[in-house]
Amino acid sequence: MPNVALAFYWHQHQPYYPDDQTGENAFPWVRLHGVKDYVGMALHLLEYPEMCCTINLVPSLLVQILAYTEKGATDRFLQVARIPAKDLSRQDATFLLDHYFMANHEHMLKPWPRFWELLQLRAANKQSAAESLRRFGERELRDLQTLYNLAWIHPLVFEADAELQQLRAKGKLFTEAEKNWVLDKHIAIMKQIIPLHRKLAESGQVELTTTPFYHPILPLLFDKRLAREAMPDVKLPRHTAGYLDDAETQVRRAVQQHAALFGAPPKGMWPAEGSVCQAMLPMLAKHGIRWIATDEGVLNQSTHGFVSRDAHGHLRNPSHLYRPYGVREGEHQLGIVFRDHALSDRIGFDYQRSSGHDAAHDFIRHLHNIRDAILADQPVLVSVILDGENCWEHYPESGVPFLRTLYKLCVQDRRIEPVKIGEYLEENPPKDTLPRLFAGSWIHNNFAIWVGHDEDNTAWDALHRTREHLVHRAAQSSIPAEQLQRAWEELYIAEGSDWFWWYGDDHSCAQDALFDQLFRKHLQNVYLALGDVPPVDLNRAIKKLGQRQSHTLPTAFLDVKIDGRTTFFEWSNAGRFECQAERGAMAMVTQTPIRELHFGFSRREFLLRIDFDEVAKTCLRGYDILCIGFDEPSGYELRILQPAQPVQSWCWYVNDKPMPTAEGVQLAIDRVIECAIPFALLEAKPNRPLRFFVELLQNQQSRDRAPRDGAIALSTPSENFERIHWDV
């Protein structure tokens, strides 16, 4: 039986954060992901020379890495870290307390006891940074400066560095010299990133690919009306014209930069956000690109649903997903592969909640199942494509136990052959050519995240007006070439997809306002580079709302009959959490069963309703356990066994130990799940924090969780709960 050809494709990307006009950089993510994920992913591969894969390095990321390592670039986070703790101004110290806990608390702060202690001192849920500052003296601030930067360094770097290990063992009361040594170490680690990737490429272990330079959505640079192919009724910006010259510049410069850094032009390309269209094929081929990749959803649309998934995520015609295709426009033909979005999302969103050993074995089991589902004489190419940095923050030890086990299993399993995509396509040319490539992206096979919302469209129109001004001024021979070059550079930066990612109601983060400000600043810089005054409207925020609220809170006591057949009025005063709205720097394509949670209280009980995409009893077939867990009060879990069974079986756990009885618990599963848990069973006191989550497991693996990280936070009510709300 032929092997499974396993094509891992890791996409390494950051938007262009610096403001080149002022030299300022508000974001540290190139540096922090550099010392953790970009170097760590390369070191993992060095441990297993037989493990082949493909890595995509976006030019805007590489430019910023080189700025840190070759030009002395910095960022606001690094600048404040360099200030001696005794000399920190109140503003700088407050900045530390506001920003230096921005990491996964469970997996990046908690392993450092002193860091966890400082988090408790910060009391972020109760006080502002200014209010917490009185608890931070010089020693606490210096430890915070040091620990934040230590915590971002990849575990494999620690394993190879005795001095880092000594600092970890010391754990607190760091000196200024030790702190600055850590900050210098960041730059030294970053200097390894490009040489390591060059080494992996030269050895033949890794294929390196590129993306259009500043990560633009290429089809929208061709013609914004292409968005209507997937969304016929979408509201488009006022100006829909394409910028073909800009698109070609972004592609051409990406190929040139790649060749200069790695000795040869790239053969493959991950178009930004997997965004493809038929019209872009000749341009890519012209610049030497031989293959591209995107999501299976685009294949679904390109084959009119022939390759698709049913409501339970099972593939129809699976052999047609696990093969390469050709795409042709005129005389130009490229190869194309389509990511298995279910397997890719398991790594991106699910395996973080399992042991590395169990998760890796589950992944291998899925590969075997794919092989078994396809006729024995057909080759199988499984493409697993996802960001190479964002998910590891949510894994224990930055994913080291998982990736080590996974890579080891992949190279030892005789049924699996890790491959590089370009090499595989050369050895196995596509036998099928798609009649036409559907215009879409890797997220729901459309462009909804980047165009259509009023904020997105406002941003596109602002970019268009700025570009029109630049074209008009460029026609005047009096503008020096250097100024024109700087102006065009700022415009190309503003065409990047990341600014539009944070506009609209799809995604939100604590730094929404900064992303908005930086997008408008790049447009302003076009005018400034030309010696012109930017228009006043570029001073006005495009992002209208602050960070989206993750959930609402209960407003009154509830009177609920626990029967699994709810009415609106029973839960009208409940808090609510919508699972599909929970998005940040990553997006999940795979459909998951839990749709929303409704929660609240009676006077003596915590009440919870769980809604699914279908009737609960139908939707839960095949799942082993549904867990309702509590972080505060900690250690309590209600585990519902085989939740689709006609008669419910459940067990109450305290600190992972099953309890013989749990008086007062009520549970019903029918159209929805409804549950009542007495406060007495939780030992929950009035006005104390209560934090809970819901998790669905299958084959001992987490398949869905709400929320995906952390827990939903509220407070146990007092007897005056309703009166307080009425007074407000």
Which tens digit of pLDDT belongs to each residue from 475-515? 987 899 999 999 999 999 999 999 999 998 888 787 888 99
Q: Can you read off the two tokens belonging to residue 490?
A: 């700022």
Are the C-beta atoms of 133 and 18 separated by less than 8 Å? Answer: no
Three-state secondary structure call for residue 659: coil
Q: What is the torsion angle, in degrees rounded to the nearest 10, for the CA atoms of residue 191, residue 192, residue 194 and residue 196?
A: 170
Q: What is the mean pLDDT of residues 584-611?
A: 86
Q: What is the pLDDT of residues 514-572, one digit of tens each?
A: 999 999 999 999 999 999 999 999 999 999 865 455 688 888 899 899 999 877 788 98
Query: Which residue from 463, 528, 449 is spatially nearest to 493, judged by alpha carbons?
Result: 463
Class of domain 569-727: mainly beta
Ranges in the chain annotated CATH 1.20.1430.10: 454-539
Q: Which phi and psi (to 5°) does residue 327 adopt? A: -130, 135
Residues in the chain: 728
CB atoms within 10 A of CB 388: 23
Q: Tokens 């209560």 sit at which residue?
A: 690
Ranges in the chain annotated CATH 3.20.110.20: 209-232+241-434
Confidence of residue 1 (pLDDT cuts 50, 70, 90): very low
Q: CA angle at residue 429 from 428 to 431, to 5 degrees?
A: 110
Q: What is the pLDDT of residues 217-243, one digit of tens each?
A: 999 999 999 999 999 999 999 999 999
Confidence of residue 723 (pLDDT cuts 50, 70, 90): low
Q: Can you read off the two tokens belonging to residue 110?
A: 């908690």
| pLDDT: which is higher, 64 or 708 | 64
Q: Which residues pair with 639 in a beta bridge?
A: 627, 651
Q: Does domain 209-232+241-434 have CATH number 3.20.110.20?
A: yes
Whether the pLDDT of residue 201 is over 80: the answer is yes
pLDDT, residue 728, reads 36
Ranges in the chain annotated CATH 2.60.40: 569-727
Q: Where are the alpha helices (DSSP H) in 622-695?
A: 679-682
User: DSSP readout, 347-366?
Assistant: IIIIGGGS-HHHHHHHHHHH
Q: Which residues pair with 293 in a beta bridge?
A: 337
Alpha carbon distances (Å) from 404 to 11, 38, 199, 365? 19, 16, 20, 17
Confidence of residue 376 (pLDDT cuts 50, 70, 90): confident
Are the C-beta atoms of 674 and 563 separated by less than 8 Å? Answer: yes
Q: Is the pTM of this model over 0.75?
A: yes
DSSP state of 274: G
Are the C-beta atoms of 392 and 37 separated by less than 8 Å? Answer: yes
Architecture of domain 454-539: Up-down Bundle (1.20)
Q: What is the mean pLDDT of residues 137-159?
A: 98
Percent of the chain surpassing pLDDT 90: 81
Q: Tokens 């649903």 sit at which residue?
A: 305
Q: What is the pLDDT of residues 272-290, one digit of tens each?
A: 999 999 999 999 999 999 9
Whether the pLDDT of residue 726 is over 60: the answer is no
Query: Which residue from 638, 673, 653 is spatially nearest to 562, judged by alpha carbons?
Result: 673
**CA–CA separation, 594 vs 698, rounded Å?**
14
Burial 220-255 (b: 16+ CB within 10 A, else e): bbbbbebbbbbbeebebbeebebbeebbebbbbbbb
Q: Are strands 325-329 and 432-434 parallel, antiparallel or unpaired?
A: parallel
Percent of the chain surpassing pLDDT 70: 97
Alpha carbon distances (Å) from 118 to 164, 181, 691? 21, 21, 21
Task: Determine the angle formed by the axes of helices 481-494 and 512-529, rounding to 10 degrees.
Answer: 160
Q: Which residues pair with 91 in a beta bridge?
A: none
| pLDDT: which is higher, 711 or 386 | 386
Side-chain-side CA neighbours of residue 424 (13 Å): 34
Q: Which residues pair with 207 in a beta bridge?
A: 54
Mean pLDDT of the chain: 93
Whether the pLDDT of residue 448 is over 80: the answer is yes
pLDDT, residue 645, reads 87
**CA–CA separation, 572 vs 576, rounded Å?**
10
Are the C-beta atoms of 189 and 157 separated by less than 8 Å? Answer: yes
**CA–CA separation, 621 vs 641, rounded Å?**
12
Whether the pLDDT of residue 727 is over 60: the answer is no
